[in-house]
Structure 1
Amino acid sequence: MRAEKLQFWYGILFTLFIAVISFGIAQLPGFTYIGPLATAIILAFIYRQIFGYPDRLRSGIQFSAKVLLRAAIILYGLKLNIDTVFTEGLPLLMKSAIVIALAILLSYALAKIFKADMTLSMLLGVGTGVCGAAAIAAVAPIIKAKDEDTAVSVGIIALLGTVFSIFYLIIRPYLPIGDVAYGVWSGLSLHELAHVALAAEPAGEEALAFALLAKLSRVFLLVPLCFIFIWYMRRKQSRTGEAKVAFPYFLIGFILMSLLNSYVLGNAVVLPEGTMDLISNLTTLLLTMAMIALGLNINMKDMAGRTLRPFAIIFFVSILISVMVYIIK
């Protein structure tokens, strides 16, 4: 029993150790664009291919993959200010809904046409439409995605988002649009919150503010999107007789954290300076540990033949969304 407990804690510490290394590597030139999440998945992937899965540490690693991942999503709710979205971002909500619907439905349709892996395609569609890793992690248990599918999807989204945000930076001086319009375009079309900040920050504070507002309007729609997936999966399983979809209770925590950030913190309760930055860093650390745990499940032999078509599909979808948002921004 004592040995099992030690292996459990060693498994958690193992993911923490690689996470710390990932944060360090992410500060190096070139890796700053990729970020700690993608770096962590790459390190975990390399470890798995060379050394195999560390079975003795499985219980602790699975804890990071399941429990810490849900804790990170709950804390991610503190990044969302619902009041700001309602008071200033209502026009963006409709555009965000269009972006999300287009990303998911187009990914689904193209996966059907080209016979691509449907689970990967749907996770990538959700990550592209909403908010990258957090959205993928929230939807994955609902559609019963495997851990390796979740990890690969997050890695692809991190890669595409980085490429697109750098491309935005390069072409911004040549675009016939103002800084605010550029910010809205970035916020409505780029994959991760970090990618939006990377692309919009050089355009000035006002552009960055509108970019983040546009992105938050997409994050806001994550919860109703999850409920749509729950309804769809339960409806599908009632016909096939499969096991029912468990309700993702961590979404309640996400909602409560969003409400707390929107209507309590900064109003009724004022936190010490730097507290929110500390919580944000903790959220990223927990999410990075979870991504390492998921990344350890990636077996190159099993995944190589399944990723090419979903990657091509989501690359096309990302381009289409970028062009469409530029037109309707």
Structure 2
Amino acid sequence: MAAANTKQKEHPMQFPSFQKWVGGVLFTFFIALLGYLLALLPGFDHVGQLACAIIIAIIYRQFFGYPETIRSGIAFSSKRLLRAAIILYGLKLNIDVVLQDGIGLLIRDAGVIIFAIGLTVLLAKILKADKMISLLLGVGTGVCGAAAIAAVAPIVKSKDEDTAIGVGIIAMMGTIFAIGYTILMPFLPISAVDYGVWSGSSLHEVAHVALAAAPGGEDALAIALLAKLGRVFLLVPLCFIFILIMKRKNKNSEQTDAKIEFPWFLVGFIALSILGSYVFGHSVPVPDSVMNEVSMITTWLLTAAMVGLGLNVSLSDLRTKALKPLIAMAITSVFLSVIVYFII
């Protein structure tokens, strides 16, 4: 009887907790939906669903505070769904194409990543900007925007609010640069293919590259995406480099308790990249409609995850911590665009 009574008492406590968890997850998807709807409006369509959702989440936090009662579900979205999105993002990477047709671009992409991270961190030091946000912005600028920031953040022990600030800035600046590229394109004395290489080698997100390169035609878009995929490909070795750096840093500072958790989601990212490159579309044909659906799911998962991160941002932190990293990242982006333009 006592055991039965204990079970009866435990159940009402567990069920509301599960409801709150579900409520938290659904809440992040609801904000993601609002971001999607906002991105359909003229003007905001260039900003994109991800950035719009983060903006809404940050605004919600300022007016209504953090929804503590559903924290468990929000945390699940910002951590677990984020890793799931990165794993699925691996399907966007065609390793075969990168290795066969883009070795030269791959070398250039490595230079882009080193330059972007190095200059952003250097400028941050000069400006006395927030080191973590600046590092994340350097990674996002050099590699592939929000996905790169999301992959590196847990390795370098970034706080959720710093990660969200970095993602928000990279989405905003990337959109501004992509629109700027399309405006400049008719006045530039370069071929469509060279314009595509320039876009793919210097812009932030895959979506930004597609936005900027599409007006140049199919050839420009194809070579732009190839150049961008090379940078995505280099995300994996970059993450392992950061793991080694963090381990050495902890060892030198004698922080024996500060263990670096192995990013197992990168294994999933690599696995799906291999499947997408050598299995799907080859020995196991997959319709484009299915791949488009997977891409859409990836976008929604990433957006919901970013909502969870965005809810951790306070405007006071944004004002005090984001301005100088934003300046450092903007200067780096301008230099990167100019340098890549002249070496293509």
TM-score by length of 2: 0.95
1:287 partner letter: L
Which of 18, 25, 39 is residue 12 of structure 1 equivalent to? 25
Bigger radius of gyration: 2
Q: Assess, with a 3 A threshold, how the Cα gap between structure 1 residues 207 and 273 changes in structure 2: closer, same or farther.
A: closer
Please list, as runs of the form range in 1=range in 2, the aligned pairs for 1:87-126 lying within 5 A after superposition. Answer: 87-126=100-139
1:278 partner letter: E
The answer as to 2:278 corresponding to 1:263 is yes
2:154 partner letter: P
Which of 316, 330, 338 is residue 301 of structure 1 equivalent to? 316
Which residue does the alignment assign to 1:39? 52
Once residues 301 and 203 of structure 1 are traced to their aligned partners in structure 2, the CA distance between those partners, rounded to angstroms, is 41
Please list, as runs of the form range in 1=range in 2, the aligned pairs for 1:181-260 lying within 5 A after superposition. Answer: 181-242=194-255, 243-260=258-275
Cα displacement (A) at 1:303: 3.0
The answer as to 2:288 corresponding to 1:278 is no
1:148 partner letter: E
Aligned pairs, number:
329
Q: Assess, with a 3 A threshold, how the Cα gap between structure 1 residues 273 and 135 changes in structure 2: closer, same or farther.
A: closer
The answer as to 2:275 corresponding to 1:288 is no
Cα displacement (A) at 1:244: 1.7
Identity of aligned residues (%): 59
1:323 partner letter: V
The answer as to 2:164 corresponding to 1:151 is yes
- Any idea what the Cα deviations from partners look like across 1:37-65, whole Å, max 9, x if unmatched? 00000000000000000000000000000
Once residues 272 and 303 of structure 1 are traced to their aligned partners in structure 2, the CA distance between those partners, rounded to angstroms, is 43
Cα displacement (A) at 1:76: 0.2
Cα displacement (A) at 1:328: 1.1
2:325 partner letter: P
Once residues 136 and 260 of structure 2 are traced to their aligned partners in structure 1, the CA distance between those partners, rounded to angstroms, is 17
- Any idea what the Cα deviations from partners look like across 1:55-107, whole Å, max 9, x if unmatched? 00000000000000000000000000000000111110011000000011111
Report the more deviating stretch, 299-308 or 156-165: 299-308
Once residues 108 and 212 of structure 1 are traced to their aligned partners in structure 2, the CA distance between those partners, rounded to angstroms, is 27
Once residues 288 and 197 of structure 2 are traced to their aligned partners in structure 1, the CA distance between those partners, rounded to angstroms, is 29
Which residue does the alignment assign to 2:83? 70
- Any idea what the Cα deviations from partners look like across 1:135-163, whole Å, max 9, x if unmatched? 00000001100001111101101111111
Cα displacement (A) at 1:273: 4.2
> Unaligned regions of 5+ residues in structure 1, if any?
none
SS at match of 2:129: coil
> Unaligned regions of 5+ residues in structure 2, if any?
1-13
- Any idea what the Cα deviations from partners look like across 1:147-206, whole Å, max 9, x if unmatched? 011111011011111111111111111101000000000000000000000000011000
- Any idea what the Cα deviations from partners look like across 1:258-308, whole Å, max 9, x if unmatched? 000000001111123400000000000000000000000001123311111
Once residues 40 and 83 of structure 1 are traced to their aligned partners in structure 2, the CA distance between those partners, rounded to angstroms, is 34
SS at match of 1:268: coil
SS at match of 1:274: helix
1:300 partner letter: L
The answer as to 2:335 corresponding to 1:320 is yes
Which of 59, 71, 80 is residue 58 of structure 1 equivalent to? 71
